[in-house]
Structure 1
Amino acid sequence: MRYFSLKILALVIFMPFVSCNTDSGNNAVLKIEHGALDYEVDGYLQTKISSNLPDTKALVSSFQPSENIEVNGNTIEKFEYQETKESTIDGALTGKQWVLQGLYEDEGINILKTVRLTAYDSFPDLVSTQVTYVNTSSENLIVDHWSNNTYTIDSQNDAPPFWAFQGSSTSARSDWVRPLEAGYYQKNFMGMNDSDYGGGIPVSSVWRKDVNIAVGHLALVPKQVSLPTEVLSNPLVAKLGVQEDFDNHTIWKSKDTIQTLETFVSISTGDYFTSLSKYSELMQAKGITIVEPEEASFEPIWCAWGYERNFTLNEVIGTLPKVKELGIKWAVLDDGFQIAEGDWNADPKKFPQGNIEIKRLVDKIHDNGLKAKVWWTPLAADPGSKVLREHPDSKIIQEDGSPQYITWWNSYYLSPTKEATIAHTKETIHLFMEEWGFDGLKMDGQHMNAVASDHTLENPNNSVEGVPAFFQMIYDEARSIKPNAVVENCPCGTCMSFYNMASMNQAVSSDPLSSWQIRHKGKTYKALVPNTAYYGDHVELSDGADDFATSFGIGAVLGTKFTWPKDNPSASGKYVLTPEKEKIWKKWFDLYNNMMLSKGTYLGGVYDIGYDKPEGHVIQKDDVLFYAFYADNWDGDIQLKGLDQSKTYLVRDYFNNETLGEISGANPIYNGSFDDFLLLEIKPKQ
């Protein structure tokens, strides 16, 4: 990942309005009005947030201890206000800043709290927070955790009461977007949660029908903090915030300082799309560079994984003519070609002539007019593999002295910042792309999303924070060999680390468990990296193993892992392309290549993915809007949001090629019925 100052994106600038007084107690000593967000601080350095957007109701009923610290087993919430200092931020990222101080003094515990609030001119509706605590006691203290931007949000009797986006990853591979009911809790730890799972997007976004509140942190590298969400009853409220937990009995020495991350709260309407878009834009303004899109990454994909690890060379080569016939542009060699994870040469049991056979396969793929991509699981090395024989110290070693283990691959984690790991990785990329001639990389595995602290390093957390730079190195190395290389990051079932998104040019739904996951993962990626290709993964992983409509309607790249003319008898799936299936597959790939909705602009703020029914998505290409609606079955009115009230539109069901009439932008209600999906083209009448 590259970090440097960027020129601020061209956004409307909102100057915050501020008022101050010197009252204590529950009266506001500072009020910031920044876009739609009103942010108040009282005489105990507690805060109250509210929205001034039309038709939004109260978020919180009173001032809350949103920034607090747990010391000696007690959470300290109230600090007597001392002063406020205001300043202006100059440079590329301009804004205003307020520094407030308060004191806590009780029974020998003395703590000075300094709160820095920032309102960035180009990012209305958002205020960031960074807190410094100084132990001014004469004795050492025990510190357990700090919490920032912790809010208890009132319910407005919606059904369900709340929806949420949560960006953590666990072996459950659960939905990133879900309704929240009373009794719900999720910790959302951004470090390792299971042996192979960790990392994610450090934002939690909770919304009602009228308003959305998001919190997160703004560090430029991964941090091991939590963003817990919870729903309580009596009264029915949602809680969210950012928290860092310290090791048990962590000593906070007298006169020492604890500083939190820069965290934030933002306000919007609708679902989480606007919150994530704003977060990504601010992170880019702070210095994260997201790579440019690659034309070839939008082309449809066939993957040989239908034949699984026991594929034969003849099976793959024999399928290529059918791949080409269907209009697919990429062929992917998947897992099973290698000697071992960590020794990526051709397995002599499968390829008796060695690496030259894989080179010939790539030539065959190219001879069929297709591009070639190779599967790969970086950061994994099997016991006894070449890299571990030559560099046994390249492993991550945990605090107890044991290596970090990747359960899924029966492998060890390689430490991403160690020179041996980097050299091995570069050598592998050159083997794939220079010697064999592949045009792209399919990086695969949930373990890629995050790693544990490496206690062989001077600073053990360098391994955690070094993962993004490792993937940036892969991207740069691949593109130095093939300038148009496609670099796909497929962190199986995880919520991909936002920091890793910066160095790939093809995201993927990554082993989705349902079509719903394909759709909301797509909305997430299109919020955070809007111009990057999003691949819906093999259609065989969708509902019914044939739901092309889900990927197509949200602007995802189509893909499949069909086998032809028969399945590999050792494979677990039944993916043979029958004549009946071939007609369906051909229709969808023809539509995809003709329309290329994946290159359109996804208008994620039009429909609320939680509360609007039926579920709706919109893509714009020039002056034409493409609507996609999803429901098990629907019969009734559908509101076509986002139309110009002064225009009349022609409505066409483009999947069935049926003209459905005209609709007025002033009354954009379409009455229709469908099962599973409805795909509409809405074009202004000339």
Structure 2
Amino acid sequence: MVILWGSCSSKQEDVQTSVLKIEHGNLLYEVNDQLQTSFSVSLPDTKPVMSGFQASEKIEINHKIIEVFNFKGVEEESLTGVLSGKKWSIKGSYTDNDISIDKELILIAYDAYPDLITTKVIYTNAKEDEVYVEKWINNEYNIHSQGDTPLFWAFQGSSTQKRSDWIKPLEPGFYQKNFMGMNDTDYGGGIPVTSVWRTDINVAVGHLALVPKIVSLPTEILSKGTDVKVAVAKDFKERTVFKGRENIETLETFLSVTKGDYFANLERYSNLMQAKGIKMVPPEDAAFESIWCAWGYERKFTLDEIIKTLPKVKDLGIKWAVLDDGFQIAEGDWDAHPEKFPKGNIEIKNLVDKIHDQGLKAKIWWTPLAADPHSDALQKNPEMRIRQRDDAPQFITWWDAYYLSPSNPKTIEHTKEIIELFMGEWGFDGLKMDGQHMNAVGADYGLEDPDKAPEAVPAFFDMIYEEARKIKPHAVVEHCPCGACMSYFNMASTNQVVSSDPLSSWQIRHKGKTYKALIPKTAYYGDHVELSDNKSDFASSFGVGAVLGTKFTWPKDNQYASESFLLTPEKEKIWKKWFSLYDDKMLSKEPYLGSLYDIGYDKPETHVIKKEDVLYFSFYAKKWNNSIELRGLDANTEYIVKDYFNEIDLGKVTSKDTTATINAVFEDFLLLEVTPVKK
């Protein structure tokens, strides 16, 4: 790490442009005498990223954006401990007739995280008079396009009811706010990182707070030209009083650069967050076992339908059976519905016993943080619900339910009682927690500080995980936020994440790559195969190392179900082959090599898993008749190549350096097993 700094000369012709230069890995970061910044990258074959200095950190006061501050000085400090490194404090000031603001720009380069620099700004109202603050912005950069097609690809981690792709190409006219608060009544939160890339460089920005924060990460293709603009921004809900002599601090945000797609930057972000204090739970072996869910029968299932399907589930080699939505009296009242279970809760306990008798594990569906307005739970404890500014409830659309407040003691007590019912009394081995509403909550005006409610969500799910594992030490706690980009902060309290109602096989694959970057040891479930392309694309789950699952019905459908998921004899042969292959390979437990291929620009789309010294490649395209490159091989080594799904030997290749090329013809997918020849 090379550091240079200086102060400005009083003579205009002698003014130094840079007052601080930081060389951290391949990242050169500079600050000028107006406290504006610039960065460049020395990674191989990288073209210029930006032009000159830009006002990357600024504040809006009294409807005026202040982005030029006169440099006053810089101080350096060494950091020790787990996160050792260097810290710089660069000070400056802005003054006009009405406003006087001091700015302290704090930059940190952590030793263990080259190519990443963090930013925090402290603004001080230097006058006695009050002013109003509307917004602060950190890490705002205009990144040049190099004429790629598309101009850029981007990972954006926000959630809305559109359930959009997390990864998408960016073209002129593109804009996405990426607000981390509530974008709809029951959609919000996500992963507070934006990662944009060209064919030669990836640039990511985000924040490093250890709980959810209400900020935006806007991404925009600028109208004049083809550059992309990214940033981290805090918009205050109302004009906020900034009192004289007081401070406003931004979050610690970051800039990170890599080669390739978003995988390495997300991996680096998660590793840094864990070093800062996020504790991920350990993996659970049972979470990697295949799943059958009774949701194929939908809410009007009968107990007889589930029981009669269990032998077929076992025959296919599937290990889990899930009781889904429809067993309960209401959301919030989780006892057995008397019309479906006339003998009451004992019938659900008996169902669990029958699942266990088949040698299967049992999981139960549940919507924590949700209760119906008419439920006994809310009638007896109305204080459990979130209260918006006008005292109205926060609404959950799918179940016509109300949000419960995650930090309310009554909510926590109620939730613990439900877990005891499910796992203690009934004997379930796992929880399928379901609903887009789990990802985030809005402000709760029943609290002294309403904005603390969103920050309390991760602790609520920590509590659920701990309670479940007290009762069942090997409990699987699945977190399925129904199409939302899962909150990174909730990932710390689950041992099974899921593609969560995917709208396409593409979503199954790129969500899988995302989770493998952030929580590589946690089981990733591809969800019911019936949600994939053609309702049968096991290959997309299999190739990215996802747990296989299905919601087939057998020997017939429920007459009230919205569509058929009947397991016909023809489908049964296919289903049995995939579940047998899954158990044979168990790729879901093995390391996923996410940096070998660019999921946006490389064609065909490729994913790689390494099991001991064998590489498993999965290629995806509607039709392909061309060469494909095998990357990640040992240098100058001979390999045997096999299409292991179709059981076809494709001969031998010898790597040139660490790659080899073969010709391939396929439709939809190709799964290859590449094994080094033993000498």
Normalising by structure 2, we get a TM-score of 0.98
CA distance in 2, matches of 1:36, 1:438: 51
CA distance in 1, matches of 2:475, 2:376: 26
Q: Secondary structure at the match of 2:4?
A: strand
Q: How does 1:328-339 map to 2 (within 5 A)?
A: 328-339=318-329
Residue 523 in structure 1 maps to residue 513 in structure 2: yes
Q: How does 1:154-193 map to 2 (within 5 A)?
A: 154-193=144-183
> Which among 260, 277, 285 is matched to residue 295 of structure 1?
285
Aligned to 2:662: 670
Q: How does 1:33-72 map to 2 (within 5 A)?
A: 33-72=23-62
> Which among 1, 5, 8 is matched to residue 23 of structure 1?
8
CA distance in 1, matches of 2:644, 2:523: 22
CA distance in 1, matches of 2:128, 2:276: 38
| Residue 139 of structure 1, CA deviation | 2.2
Q: Secondary structure at the match of 1:363?
A: helix
Aligned to 2:422: 432
> Which among 448, 470, 473 is matched to residue 483 of structure 1?
473
Q: Would you say the 8 A contact 2:286–2:476 is kept in 1?
A: yes
| Residue 100 of structure 1, CA deviation | 0.5
CA distance in 2, matches of 1:664, 1:236: 42
Aligned to 1:682: 674
Aligned to 1:653: 643
Q: Would you say the 8 A contact 1:196–1:408 is kept in 2?
A: no
Structure 1 gap segments, 5+ residues each:
1-15
| Residue 560 of structure 1, CA deviation | 0.2
Q: Would you say the 8 A contact 1:540–1:561 is kept in 2?
A: yes
Q: Secondary structure at the match of 1:53?
A: coil
Amino acid at match of 2:125: N
| Residue 254 of structure 1, CA deviation | 1.6
Q: Would you say the 8 A contact 2:7–2:16 is kept in 1?
A: no
Aligned to 1:96: 86
Range moving further from structure 2, 652-661 or 381-390 = 381-390
| Residue 674 of structure 1, CA deviation | 0.5
> Which among 378, 382, 386 is matched to residue 372 of structure 2?
382
Amino acid at match of 1:494: A
Aligned to 1:415: 405
Q: Would you say the 8 A contact 2:423–2:468 is kept in 1?
A: yes
Q: Would you say the 8 A contact 1:26–1:44 is kept in 2?
A: no
Range moving further from structure 2, 133-142 or 68-77 = 133-142
Residue 568 in structure 1 maps to residue 553 in structure 2: no
CA distance in 1, matches of 2:632, 2:127: 58
| Residue 386 of structure 1, CA deviation | 2.0
> Which among 264, 271, 275 is matched to residue 281 of structure 1?
271
CA distance in 2, matches of 1:185, 1:483: 46
CA distance in 2, matches of 1:527, 1:36: 21
Aligned to 1:593: 583
Amino acid at match of 1:124: P
> Which among 528, 543, 555 is matched to residue 553 of structure 1?
543
| Residue 301 of structure 1, CA deviation | 0.2
CA deviations over 1:112-143 (Å, ceiling 9, x no partner): 00011001111111000000001113422121
Aligned to 1:269: 259
Q: Secondary structure at the match of 1:638?
A: strand
Q: How does 1:247-266 map to 2 (within 5 A)?
A: 247-266=237-256
CA distance in 2, matches of 1:511, 1:56: 38
Q: Would you say the 8 A contact 1:108–1:137 is kept in 2?
A: no
Range moving further from structure 2, 241-250 or 330-339 = 241-250
Q: Would you say the 8 A contact 1:383–1:411 is kept in 2?
A: yes
Amino acid at match of 2:427: G
CA distance in 2, matches of 1:609, 1:240: 21
Q: Would you say the 8 A contact 2:319–2:361 is kept in 1?
A: yes
Range moving further from structure 2, 168-177 or 30-39 = 30-39
Q: How does 1:466-505 map to 2 (within 5 A)?
A: 466-505=456-495
CA distance in 1, matches of 2:590, 2:30: 41
Amino acid at match of 1:685: V
Range moving further from structure 2, 658-667 or 296-305 = 658-667
Q: Secondary structure at the match of 1:537?
A: strand
CA distance in 2, matches of 1:507, 1:340: 25
Amino acid at match of 1:259: E
Amino acid at match of 1:20: W
Residue 392 in structure 1 maps to residue 379 in structure 2: no
Q: How does 1:101-250 map to 2 (within 5 A)?
A: 101-250=91-240
| Residue 459 of structure 1, CA deviation | 1.4
Residue 607 in structure 1 maps to residue 607 in structure 2: no
CA distance in 2, matches of 1:26, 1:549: 58
Amino acid at match of 1:19: L
> Which among 350, 353, 361 is matched to residue 363 of structure 1?
353
CA distance in 2, matches of 1:324, 1:531: 27
Q: Secondary structure at the match of 1:416?
A: coil
> Which among 608, 620, 629 is matched to residue 639 of structure 1?
629
CA distance in 2, matches of 1:337, 1:138: 62
CA distance in 2, matches of 1:117, 1:284: 20
Q: How does 1:506-517 map to 2 (within 5 A)?
A: 506-517=496-507
Aligned to 1:13: none
CA distance in 1, matches of 2:239, 2:28: 38
Range moving further from structure 2, 35-44 or 441-450 = 35-44
Q: Would you say the 8 A contact 2:386–2:393 is kept in 1?
A: yes
Amino acid at match of 2:654: S
Amino acid at match of 1:647: T
Q: Would you say the 8 A contact 1:113–1:133 is kept in 2?
A: yes
CA distance in 1, matches of 2:52, 2:556: 66
Aligned to 1:11: none
| Residue 249 of structure 1, CA deviation | 2.5
Kindly report the root-mean-square deviation, in angstroms, between the aligned alpha carbons of the 2 structures: 0.9
CA distance in 2, matches of 1:401, 1:338: 28
| Residue 26 of structure 1, CA deviation | 7.1
**Identity fraction in percent:** 64
Q: Would you say the 8 A contact 1:341–1:385 is kept in 2?
A: yes
Aligned to 1:341: 331
CA distance in 2, matches of 1:348, 1:605: 53
Q: Secondary structure at the match of 1:629?
A: strand
Q: Secondary structure at the match of 1:651?
A: strand
CA distance in 1, matches of 2:305, 2:202: 51
CA distance in 1, matches of 2:400, 2:225: 47
Residue 543 in structure 1 maps to residue 533 in structure 2: yes
| Residue 657 of structure 1, CA deviation | 0.6
Q: Would you say the 8 A contact 2:128–2:243 is kept in 1?
A: no
